[in-house]
Amino acid sequence: MRISVAADERTGVAERVVEELRRRGHEPLLHGALADGERDDWAWASEAAARDVADGSADQAIVCCWTGTGASIAANKVTGVRAALCADAETARGARRWNDANALALSLRTTSEALLGEMLDAWFDADPSDESDDLANVRHLEQIAVES
């Protein structure tokens, strides 16, 4: 799977995310501080990763900044991207299952390597729900974007 990865700095687990994705057999596409010559500010880096998902260049994205909040906000501004700021494995699992999240937002400050592994396990093991109420909620998100 192609996973677009953005970080605004090379601290915390920023580089470990890339290593872990490669170890799991994924192909990371790098943005921000992880790529040469790109603007590394969180809004620009996260937007670039989210646009990869929106245009089909990547299947999913992982966006990172110090708190993860800015990265998630920026990614969610891109139509078709559903970024979830997760701090634990169960939240990551639920974001994939109930929200069909296609971008995982992480805090570089609070995400440990052990927690990163648990969250990635949960994220990649979870399939989006096919329950009618969950599907209706995800469809409604698209309607909200059009109406705004």
pTM (2 d.p.): 0.96
Ordered structural domains, the chain, with CATH: 2-147 (3.40.1400.10)
- Tens of pLDDT along the chain (148 residues)? 999 999 999 999 999 999 999 999 999 999 999 999 999 999 999 999 999 999 999 999 999 999 999 999 999 999 999 999 999 999 999 999 999 999 999 999 999 999 999 999 999 999 999 999 999 999 999 888 777 6
For every residue of the chain, DSSP letters joined together read: -EEEEEESSS-TTHHHHHHHHHHTT-EEEEEETTSTTS--SHHHHHHHHHHHHHTTS-SEEEEEESSSHHHHHHHHTSTT--EEE-SSHHHHHHHHHHH---EEEEETTT--HHHHHHHHHHHHH------HHHHHHHHHHHHHHHH-
